[in-house]
Chain A
Amino acid sequence: MNSLPADIGGPGLYAVEFGDIVNYFTPYTAVLFVFALVFTALAIASRPERQVDIIFGGDGYYTKDIEPAKLGFQRFMAIACGLATLGAVVSGDVFNFTLFTSMVGITNIGIVAAYTNRHVLNAAFQYGIVAMIATVPLFGGAAIILATTGTLSMWELFGPAIAVPLIAKAFLILGVMGEGMAPFYVAKAEITRAPGAPYVLMIHVSSLLLFLRVTEIVLSM
């Protein structure tokens, strides 16, 4: 049975068990889930904005439109990013969580990849490198957890009986931070210059929700 600590994210509300892989909701993860769902729905439902750019040295301005083909790809990637975030938020298995996290990193590049602007693509390239390097500590953390405790199920890991080594926790946090949190996020700030607000917004939504989730995981372990 589960040993979710009620003093961090609140008591467990509901769980879906696939053998030893569990997905569960606490009040905390339920709020994160709803939030991710709202923004995924927005990415599905809303039209992009038309970015206004001022012509330098005059009163003129022009608006940028996104071609339908690019728009379709961007929307698809944003929805994939939303689904990966939903998965990461409800997952009760450390390895699944890391998988969804790395998928978020990939889809974040995908969201802006269709947009042919040198500056944005350069930033996406740099973001990709940081995210890729960050998967080393991310999966490394999960591997250390499995090697030392013999399980990846959060229900087991959150119990008082199992001590997770500090280095594994640090690696997990470092890995998630590499997907776009504070010290490693400079390229991410630049890729959000791409047009297509509802989709570009998913880049930020996903990294913040992942960070909120990993905080809960690490504190509970």
Chain B
Amino acid sequence: MIDILLFGIFAGLLLHGIHRKVIARVQGRPGPPVWQEILHTLKFSFKETWIPVTASQALFVAVVLVALGIWTAALFVLLLEGSLLLLFGMYMLHKIVEHGLGLSSGSPYGKFGAIRSVISAASEIPLFATIGAVYLVTGSLMISDILAWQQVHGPLAIAMPPAALAMYLVILSKVHYSPFAIIEAKEIVSGNRTEHFGVWRAGLDVAFALKTFVLLFAFVLIFVGALPFAAVLAVMLVLLLSLSFVCALCPMLSPYDTVTVQSLATGLIAVYIVAFGVIG
């Protein structure tokens, strides 16, 4: 299990690198080499590190540990084929990490990032539309049951395209450079990550790499079904490439526009689920 954890971290960092490369190429720039994010993480971990004097010291360090902990746990939920609800619980708790990162330092930029993270809570709501839809169709939230269902009936993405779309939107909200990434927008420096430097930043990079890996992996398991591991990786890569295209071509939305778009999407999916539940 520890082997897949380490693999997930490096694969996630590599995916981040590929993401940056694709965005750069779409925008006509050469872009960094694909392993840049791995080097980045190592570089940060070698840097001088302390805790800012204005920070809430315990919280400042604890959020980094919590970020690493929840995404390690989320990966294990996937590997042990546990409850989908637990996986999405982890995803919600990531929101608290984002919020805590920004609040803990005392920096105004971090604070803006943290407040934007509360505003962008609308990005979690499509997730519950997804859960509801999956439960309605498969009758279970255990990933093992969902995989078994797909063995019989084919991929869920075909049975329930709007649910897949909702989860795609959720993943899109969380990748770097996304149109919804208002919490780390450049007009507020790096948003909630501004004050986490050195080793803290390296820890966060590891956690976020794991997050990307877990979310893409979860999408494949939930909506495509059980595949050989190499095929899972291939589908994840294709999924990431599509996300990179969206990120490269869409400008970042303003905070309230992100809420509007995400709420509208959720509303449409909720209508679909209710209609599906009534008819089906």
Chain A contact residues: helix, strand, loop or mixed: helix
Residue of B nearest to A208 (CB): B92
Query: Closest approach, in angstroms, between the C-beta of B99 and any C-beta of chain A?
Result: 5
Chain A, interface residues (CB within 8 Å), range: 35 or more
Do A204 and B99 form a contact, CB below 8 Å, given A27-B83, A32-B89, A52-B107? yes
Q: Are B118 and A185 in contact (CB under 8 A)?
A: yes
For residue A35, which residues in chain B have a CB less than 8 angstroms away from its CB?
A: 93
Chain B contact residues: helix, strand, loop or mixed: helix
Find residues 18-47 in chain B having any chain A CB closer than 8 Å to their own CB.
none
Of the listed stretches B123-131, B168-176, B237-245, chain A binds: B123-131
Q: Please report the C-alpha to C-alpha distance between residue A205 and residue B53 in the assembled complex, in whole angstroms.
A: 25
Q: Please report the C-alpha to C-alpha distance between residue A7 and residue B100 in the assembled complex, in whole angstroms.
A: 32
Query: Closest approach, in angstroms, between the C-beta of B64 and any C-beta of chain A?
Result: 13
Chain B, interface residues (CB within 8 Å), range: 35 or more
Q: Please report the C-alpha to C-alpha distance between residue A28 and residue B84 in the assembled complex, in whole angstroms.
A: 10
For residue A50, which residues in chain B have a CB less than 8 angstroms away from its CB?
A: 53-54, 106
Q: Are A219 and B135 in contact (CB under 8 A)?
A: yes
Query: Closest approach, in angstroms, between the C-beta of A25 and any C-beta of chain B?
Result: 13
Contact among B60, B103, B121 with A185 in the assembled complex (CB-CB below 8 Å)? B121
Q: Please report the C-alpha to C-alpha distance between residue A18 and residue B123 in the assembled complex, in whole angstroms.
A: 39
Q: Are B54 and A198 in contact (CB under 8 A)?
A: no
Do A201 and B59 form a contact, CB below 8 Å, given A10-B83, A183-B263, A192-B118? yes
For residue B132, which residues in chain A have a CB less than 8 angstroms away from its CB?
A: 219
Q: Please report the C-alpha to C-alpha distance between residue A201 and residue B105 in the assembled complex, in whole angstroms.
A: 13
Q: Are A182 and B85 in contact (CB under 8 A)?
A: no
Q: Are B58 and A198 in contact (CB under 8 A)?
A: yes
Find residues 84-143 in chain B having any chain A CB closer than 8 Å to their own CB.
85-86, 89-90, 92-93, 95-96, 99-100, 103-108, 111, 114-115, 118-119, 121-122, 124-125, 128, 131-132, 135, 139-142
Q: Are B121 and A52 in contact (CB under 8 A)?
A: no
A215 lies within 8 A of chain B by Cβ: yes
For residue A186, which residues in chain B have a CB less than 8 angstroms away from its CB?
A: 119
How many A-B pairs have beta carbons closer than 8 Å: the answer is 136
Contact among B92, B103, B104, B139 with A212 in the assembled complex (CB-CB below 8 Å)? B92
Query: Closest approach, in angstroms, between the C-beta of B84 and any C-beta of chain A?
Result: 9
Q: Please report the C-alpha to C-alpha distance between residue A49 and residue B101 in the assembled complex, in whole angstroms.
A: 12
Q: Are B96 and A10 in contact (CB under 8 A)?
A: no
Contact among A8, A46, A189 with B85 in the assembled complex (CB-CB below 8 Å)? A8
Of the listed stretches A37-45, A110-118, A140-148, A151-159, chain B binds: A37-45
B55 lies within 8 A of chain A by Cβ: yes
For residue A42, which residues in chain B have a CB less than 8 angstroms away from its CB?
A: 58-59, 62
Chain A 8-51: CB-based contact to B (< 8 A → 1; otherwise 0)? 11100000000000000001100110010011001001111111
- Measured CB to CB, the residues of A under 8 A from B are 6-10, 27-28, 31-32, 35, 38-39, 42, 45-54, 63, 181-183, 185-186, 188-190, 192-193, 195, 197-198, 200-201, 204-205, 208, 211-212, 215-216, 219
22 sampled A-B residue pairs with Cβ under 8 A:
A7-B139, A7-B140, A7-B142, A8-B85, A9-B85, A27-B82, A28-B86, A32-B89, A47-B57, A49-B54, A49-B56, A52-B107, A54-B108, A182-B125, A186-B119, A189-B115, A192-B114, A195-B106, A198-B58, A208-B95, A212-B89, A219-B141
Going nearest first, the 10 A-B pairs with the smallest beta carbon separation are A46-B58, A197-B103, A49-B106, A49-B56, A7-B140, A189-B118, A50-B54, A197-B56, A182-B125, A182-B122
